[in-house]
Structure 1
Amino acid sequence: MKRFFLIFALVLTMAQARAQTLKVEFFTPSIVHIIKEQPTKSLVVTAQPEQGVAIQNGNTWKSGQLTVKQDANGALTFLDAKGRVLLRERSCSITDGKVSQTFRLDKDEAIYGLGTIQNGKMNRRGEHKRMEQSNLEDFQNVLQSIKGWGLYWENYSPTQFDDDANGMTFTSEVGEGIDYYFMYGGSADGVIAQMRHLTGDVPMFPLWTYGFWQSKERYKTAAETEGIVDKYRELQVPLDGIIQDWQYWGSNYLWNAMDFLSEDFANGPQLIKNVHAKHAHFMISIWASFGPMTRQFRELDEKGLLLPIETWPQSGISHIWPPRMDYPSGVKVYDAFSPEARNIYWKYLKTLFDYGTDAWWMDSTDPDFFNPRESDYEHPVTGGTWRSLRNAFPLETVRGVYEKQRRVSEEKRLFIMTRSSFAGQQHYGSNMWSGDVNSSWDMLRKQVPAGLSFSLTGNPNFNTDIGGFFCGSYNTRGPGSAPQNPQFQELYVRWMQYGLFCPVFRSHGADAPREIWQFGEKGTPVYDAIEKMIRLRYRLIPYLYSTAWQVTSNNESYLRPLFSDFASDKKVWDVADEFMFGRSILACPIVNPQYTEEKVIRTDAMTGWDRQEARGESAVQVDFTTSKTAIKYLPKGALWYDFWTGKAYQGGKSVTLETTFDRVPMFVRAGSILPLGPEMQYVGEKTWDNLEFRLYPGADGTFTLYEDEGDNYNYERGVYATVVFSWSDKARTLTIGARKGEYPGMLLKRQFTVALPDGTTKTIDYDGNQTTITF
């Protein structure tokens, strides 16, 4: 009897599938849009379907790259041009306002993406996850397979993702129809390119954003903020950005007033001018919510453009924890789905822009949503309900700022750092950080796959709070003492060595200050290790900025899982502690303690605010000057050079390395041409008139050096220059091509110093014409 009912249910599901209205439309020969019943009004997809790229013959649709077949039960199968099955539908459901689609995967097929899931895994097989934006985890509904296909599930409501014996299933809480895009790119890069074709390319960030950023929760006076810049300049440690976190506006009742209303920031505009005079840039915290005494709140409230959800901060009294709920803050989130609300948001934000603010820290763009009630989810917002549009909130609020600022000025590139992201957000000048993560080795390990998974959704810009946000458990000698605790010192240094490879290199956190001098003084191991990574970051900026151009112009990524370049090596399919940084550098950060014992920390985005500090523990004596060992795997199919020693290793095996506290293990792929800039106190302090190019023999290779004005949108009109470097390994010849393009202030004549791993160097004069060097 049980079997009978199972068969009956399956037949009923198939009958329902056959009865559904199906629409198949091709956006390119490699991208097909599937709609069953009603399509979603897209907030994400900006591309349009192409006519004539596919031919329908009955229940088969065929382009030059894809074939889609519908079987007798209504299920679709996707095949490549050679007829190989890529993906099969299994069953679907559209009932009671919910939608669900199940797919069949191959038994050992690895799948990746979805977003910043903080569980330390790369492969999403066996995953069960409710996908709703939050402080620590963010979702883009985009995944891809090791087989080279990708899928974007077009739905903005909270969605359950399940992969088990029944198949791979998306189940969304709201939907009038099933709506998804199937993409075949042939590789990880190919899928990313397809996703960006659908949703938009990645605009360039300003050149200076690739320098070092200092922040903390929070600098409490304008003098303190400015003084941080002064101290870095005094110590001659490079710095390009200073960040002003929350409450510069005053009390919680004035939450996010977008102006310097606190008496401790009485002359905020002068603060920004002073920071600029010190050759640094200024980022400021803004939120998606407003206190009841702000002008924004009153205007939005009059128009019904505020949400009733419980959000941060919960109390109007800012210095007491837990929150005094008998003094509620009255703070409310605005309806970012409303064009009118986004206009109001920018109208007031422009005050800070006019003061000279260089970049926006858009915090709580998830947004914070505490103690959710059913009525909250059903609350109407522009275009639907809070439930139906919930996950797209970060996209809309970030897009609003990007579009408004670009209409005001093309002279200053948008740079937005935000805590949450949805599909397509890469097109709106934003870099996402991974939220208020705790300070632990476990969390450091989780950041690596989280950033890679995020990048695989088409969003390349990711960073974390270096050292973790909540470090109170390391304050063993009293409040703020963590930087003197060897356990935290080791964690912080290794986290900074991972941060070296993120698009944004930023130190931030609560419970203790994180400035370099908090960890000691010059000449001591911890201070010197931090300074060494900051200085190396500046030397890598020519490589990083040229990579940024490839991200913009060629759909590449900064953070590349190893299978992006070495998919044939099955050993790298689930590697979660190594990755490619651009095309040339294999990053192998140390993510386990070598000098201290691992301290187990368990906090979340709310309990971490308790700032519970462990005290009275005995001091740990550690000698950070000793060397240790680490085992790292080098992908098959390449020759690898140790960046620090120049020693060559054959790929396809694990190697035991001697490691030191002040060096992050990193390798350079044979055939790479790696540019290194001069040491600088800030971007632009020195011209790139004699770049060093490290050349790694063993394979042919090319590299394109990209340069432009650094901080406007003229590059979109072709105002930039490129120089292509090509290495022939057999001839041992480096050809430096003729410069293409030009921009104001461009160096017409310069030198390049080319260095081999064996120490051989040659310096040549370059005037923009092609030249060749033979080794």
Structure 2
Amino acid sequence: MRKILTLLLTAVFLLAFPVFSFSQNVRYQKTDNGVIIRPVNGDESSGKQIKLEVVSDKIIHAVISPEGFFSLEPGLMVVPVKSKPEFTVSEAGAYIQLNTRSLMVKVNTTTGQILYQDLSGKSILEEKAGISRSFRAVSNGGEASYELKQVFSSPADESIYGLGQHQDDMMDYKGKQVLLLQNNTDVAIPFLLSNKHYGILWDNYSITKVGDTRDYQPLSSLRLFSREGNEGWLTANYENRKSGGASLKRAESDIDYSFLSDMKKFPDSFKMANGLVKWEGKIASGYSGLHHFNVKYAGYIKMWVNGELLVDKWRQAWNPGSAVVGAEMQKDKKYDIRIEWLPDGNESYLSVKCLTPIPEWEKNQYAFSSESGDAVNYYFVSGNDADEVISGYRTLTGKAVLLPKWAMGFWQSRERYKTQEELLGVVKEFRDRKIPIDNIVLDWQYWKPDSWGTHEFDKSRFPDADGMIKTLHDTYHTRLMISVWPKFYTGNANYELMNKNGFLYKHNIADGRKDWLGYQSTFYDAFNPEARTLFWDLMDKKLYKKGIDAWWMDATEPDIHSNLPIWERKYNMTPNYLGSATKYFNAFPLQNSKGVYEGQRKANPNERVFILTRSAYGGLQRYAAATWSGDIASRWEDMKSQISAGLNFSLSGLPYWTMDIGGFSVERRYEKPNDKDLKEWRELNTRWYQFGAFVPLFRGHGQFPYREVYNIAPEDHPAYQSILYYNKLRYRLMPYIYSLAGATYQKDYTIMRGLVMDYGTDGKVKDIGDEYLFGPSLLINPVYEYGATSRKVYLPEGNGWYDLYTGRHTKGGQTIKADAPYNRMPVYVKAGSVIPYGPELQYTDEKPADAITLYVYGGQDGMFTLYEDEGTNYNYEKEEYATINFNYSEKSKSLTISERKGNYKGMLKDRKFHIVYISEKKPIPLNFNQKPTKTIQYNGNQIITRF
């Protein structure tokens, strides 16, 4: 069906847009929305035709085809853009030149190189001169396509961000490799953001390397020497750490135990569950410079090069982690290498690969290299700042629809609540203890053990699911999010229905694989629109009609069977409705969320959809979907890596990100902890909750030990008190936070902000990945070292900064040693900020935000827009919302509360504002019980007050 549809579309396209015939002297053809150019030297290896389409004055769509025509493969990320921008096309020497009101785009008529410039001719981005792109014909499951590569020049002072969420603790990706491959904890988003005020949306769905696109090499690409000095291998010792018996010694030239199929490479006598492996020797390289090592690991791993400990990590066996570390090496010089590995359980994974220094001629460039596509296809997005570039991304891929207001409150979750009684008991405990909460999450296995995919509650454990949901709603004012996987066990009615319609991937069934619970299963084909409709219908019938409020869409990479090689993961996605699994590998989470979003909006057009998904792709924000960072480990280094992971995810254009506060997978030492480990566990969770209160969505989740605050520590413990403090502060900040959410829709705003967004001219912030702005005002500085009572904080230049808790002022443009006692995380407020705080709440809609306390921080001009609407419906799309601007003038020391604009049902027409004014000479601590500087009665008309 899909092939017939493509042929019909192609025929229609050729009738409407025939292939242009270029004479010897005519190198281009102007079209309704751009120009088509055929370079003199264009061929199948570098591209025969170039199409430039003007999307807007600042957005250009470039398509380069190796054929004599342009393919009509379906696009999934980009939505239709209604615009008719003005442009001109002309010949200018060796170039065809396309001008908009903001851009000048030049194409070399000989080579096809594309240059993006401003109207003064200043370069913004250039494809690399010479061979800037390549095509190599490939076949994927009988489908003809091309491996693609596009190279861009990159000046030495350029920094690169975005590209999704990755766990390598990197902020600036310049000179590094980013692999866009959906995996648990790694999210592929093909949008790159440059500090040069442009972005690239790479319109391709296959596995893609970005940046330094060379392949990582096996360890044997270096010269290896054994412990005894023999060349060609390292010395590997396999030991039984429990029995202490004799070890097995062997020579190994490569360390590559990456997937299930690699388990057979281990010695037959090696018992992994009790094992310890050590690799020792020396390495040498034929190159001088920075070498990168990519370490994939499960269990405990330590790696030293030249005596320096580069890797010291842990990860659970079933979800390996990765680390990228660098080591400077001189050509032909030998360096000691030592690796120690404690596997985790009976199946564990480890690989060590190497990337030699970037060749000199490749240093000032980056590239996109994709496994499959019909053409090089990308969008160039320019802007005056990062916000404008991200706005351009959302122009292309869709507005970030508003999540329900209650989603901004606290969610409690665990893996897993096993019974109805247990789940209700947790919510009751929260309410009894007066711990604010809005959402309880029911993770997997609420169904009978053999009934995955039925969406039916196991009545032996959930005897009255309807009553449970009603109690949550009516008695506890709490919402319920439920786990739904795209997965079906064989034999149940939903499997048979999906199978009868041809909507399932069948390869995993044919291979006879069983999941970790011992049952055969597979996933549905989310690329098939009819399959998506049926998938939603099954959810609607069994779950939504019961009153479920939100959806946890797990394993959406898709993780049909964990730890398989990539080629097997592709086979498991076959047959695919749109084409080969290679071509569409990364887009499954987008299509899965699309079906749920469109299904619920059709079933209940005025109730906001809310989806939490473990993976994402470009455009996901239009489907009311947030993303969490997957099954990360409960370690300090994993907490730290979430900061840059969340920032780069946000810089990829998707505003709603969250993580498992406390980490998902727990070292065994915490399960039955001694006093020392219990102390560390409590501090780890305290610091993580402090951080988690200032990300777009605030949620605790994880495996045992349980993450409810009262299970972490008793009520009189500083851990409990700090976690409760930040929970309550989050709810006090709800007018601020929900206004930021409103701005994500109204103004394409980004909530979690890398410092480069607001301080791009401050060169010191380019690679800061452990602090960020939460909205326009709050500088967040998580503490991620055990026992730390202070941390270094860089205060960006151009602003003064106030300590949130004391109100004391510090000048910007300097690094300070900030106090970080156990119960507090350093937070600073930008001078010129106006921050609205609401009343203390137990849940977001407990009562209206009245009175609001406005903390006004002097020293510079500033403003804030308060946004309000009904909170749970889509009336805001009909412009039923209200805004109030607060403008502070430093010169007149005055605050202007503007005339209210707009209205909505239930709006407060008369309200009270308490104002607390803080200045450099008059520090005032954060205290909601203190007497305000002034109190204003507001009825919607403008009021100016002076301090």
Confirm or deny a common fold (TM above 0.5): yes
Q: Give the counterpart of 1:587 among 760, 775, 780.
A: 780
1:609 maps to none
Q: Give the counterpart of 2:418 among 220, 223, 243.
A: 220
Q: Aligned AA for 1:632?
A: V
Deviations 1:7-42 (A, max 9, x none): xxxx99976567511111110011001111134421
Deviation of the 1:314 alpha carbon: 9.6
CA–CA distance in 1 between the matches of 2:51 and 2:42? 17
1:694 maps to 855
Deviations 1:255-302 (A, max 9, x none): 132121352012111111111121111100001111113322111111
Q: Secondary structure at the match of 2:817?
A: strand
Q: Secondary structure at the match of 1:485?
A: helix
CA–CA distance in 2 between the matches of 1:181 and 1:42? 13
1:683 maps to 844
1:69 maps to 106
Deviations 1:148-168 (A, max 9, x none): 010011110111223254331
Q: Secondary structure at the match of 2:373?
A: coil
Cα pair 1:292 1:298 within 8 Å, conserved: yes
Q: Secondary structure at the match of 1:160?
A: strand
Cα pair 1:539 1:676 within 8 Å, conserved: yes
1:619 maps to none
Map residues 253-272 of structure 1 onto 2, 5 A cutoff.
Answer: 253-272=450-469
Q: Aligned AA for 2:376?
A: I
CA–CA distance in 2 between the matches of 1:131 and 1:454? 12
Deviations 1:753-774 (A, max 9, x none): 0002234611121111211211
1:84 maps to 122
Cα pair 1:26 1:50 within 8 Å, conserved: no
User: Is 1:32 equivalent to 2:68 in the alignment?
Assistant: no
1:345 maps to 535
Q: Secondary structure at the match of 1:637?
A: coil
1:44 maps to 77
* C-alpha RMSD over aligned residues: 2.1
1:434 maps to 629
1:469 maps to 664
Cα pair 2:803 2:829 within 8 Å, conserved: yes
Deviation of the 1:745 alpha carbon: 1.6
Q: Secondary structure at the match of 2:169?
A: coil
CA–CA distance in 1 between the matches of 2:173 and 2:569? 31
Q: Give the counterpart of 2:867 among 666, 684, 706.
A: 706
CA–CA distance in 2 between the matches of 1:450 and 1:496? 17
More strand by share: 2
User: Is 1:120 equivalent to 2:281 in the alignment?
Assistant: no
Q: Give the counterpart of 1:730 among 891, 896, 901.
A: 891
Deviation of the 1:476 alpha carbon: 5.6
Deviation of the 1:384 alpha carbon: 0.7
2:471 maps to 274
CA–CA distance in 2 between the matches of 1:765 and 1:544? 23
Cα pair 2:405 2:872 within 8 Å, conserved: yes
User: Is 1:286 equivalent to 2:484 in the alignment?
Assistant: yes
Q: Secondary structure at the match of 2:742?
A: helix
Q: Aligned AA for 1:576?
A: G
Q: Secondary structure at the match of 1:381?
A: coil
2:239 maps to none
Deviates more, 1:742-751 or 1:568-577: 742-751
User: Is 1:445 equivalent to 2:483 in the alignment?
Assistant: no
CA–CA distance in 2 between the matches of 1:185 and 1:242? 40
CA–CA distance in 2 between the matches of 1:410 and 1:745? 20
Q: Give the counterpart of 1:140 among 189, 195, 198.
A: 189
Deviates more, 1:81-90 or 1:526-535: 81-90
Cα pair 2:819 2:826 within 8 Å, conserved: no
Change (3 A) 1:316 1:99: closer
Deviations 1:717-748 (A, max 9, x none): 12111111111111111111122222222212
User: Is 1:422 equivalent to 2:653 in the alignment?
Assistant: no
User: Is 1:770 equivalent to 2:942 in the alignment?
Assistant: yes
Q: Aligned AA for 2:607?
A: K
Q: Aligned AA for 2:412?
A: Q
- Unaligned 5+ residue runs, structure 1? 1-10, 318-322, 596-627
Cα pair 1:484 1:518 within 8 Å, conserved: no
CA–CA distance in 2 between the matches of 1:33 and 1:482? 60
Q: Aligned AA for 1:73?
A: T
CA–CA distance in 1 between the matches of 2:513 and 2:439? 31
CA–CA distance in 2 between the matches of 1:721 and 1:315? 55
Deviates more, 1:374-383 or 1:88-97: 374-383
1:236 maps to 434
Q: Aligned AA for 1:85?
A: S
1:607 maps to none
Map residues 121-520 of structure 1 onto 2, 5 A cutoff.
Answer: 121-163=170-212, 164-165=358-359, 166=362, 167-251=365-449, 253-277=450-474, 278-308=476-506, 310=508, 323=516, 327=518, 329-350=519-540, 351-369=542-560, 370=562, 371-372=564-565, 374=567, 377=570, 379-475=574-670, 477=672, 485-520=678-713
Cα pair 1:483 1:514 within 8 Å, conserved: no
Cα pair 1:202 1:426 within 8 Å, conserved: yes
Change (3 A) 1:665 1:376: closer
2:933 maps to 761
CA–CA distance in 1 between the matches of 2:751 and 2:567? 40
Cα pair 2:682 2:713 within 8 Å, conserved: no
Map residues 597-608 of structure 1 onto 2, 5 A cutoff.
Answer: none
Q: Quick one: percent identity of the two aligned structures?
A: 37
Change (3 A) 1:70 1:750: same
Aligned residues: 721
User: Is 1:578 equivalent to 2:771 in the alignment?
Assistant: yes
Cα pair 1:17 1:75 within 8 Å, conserved: no
Deviation of the 1:129 alpha carbon: 3.4
CA–CA distance in 1 between the matches of 2:735 and 2:880? 18
2:810 maps to 649
Cα pair 1:483 1:489 within 8 Å, conserved: no
Deviation of the 1:52 alpha carbon: 5.0
Cα pair 1:94 1:176 within 8 Å, conserved: no
Cα pair 1:248 1:265 within 8 Å, conserved: yes
2:151 maps to 102
Change (3 A) 1:88 1:212: same
2:134 maps to 93
Deviations 1:589-623 (A, max 9, x none): 1122225xxxxxxxxxxxxxxxxxxxxxxxxxxxx
2:342 maps to none
Deviation of the 1:672 alpha carbon: 0.8
CA–CA distance in 1 between the matches of 2:393 and 2:671? 47
User: Is 1:23 equivalent to 2:51 in the alignment?
Assistant: yes
1:528 maps to 721
CA–CA distance in 2 between the matches of 1:211 and 1:115? 25
CA–CA distance in 1 between the matches of 2:765 and 2:752? 15
Q: Secondary structure at the match of 2:127?
A: strand
CA–CA distance in 2 between the matches of 1:482 and 1:209? 36
Cα pair 1:483 1:518 within 8 Å, conserved: no
Cα pair 1:207 1:710 within 8 Å, conserved: yes
Q: Aligned AA for 1:126?
A: G
Deviation of the 1:460 alpha carbon: 0.6
Q: Aligned AA for 1:83?
A: G
Q: Aligned AA for 1:767?
A: N
Deviation of the 1:474 alpha carbon: 3.7
Deviates more, 1:43-52 or 1:388-397: 43-52
Change (3 A) 1:49 1:180: farther
CA–CA distance in 2 between the matches of 1:476 and 1:560? 35
Change (3 A) 1:263 1:571: same
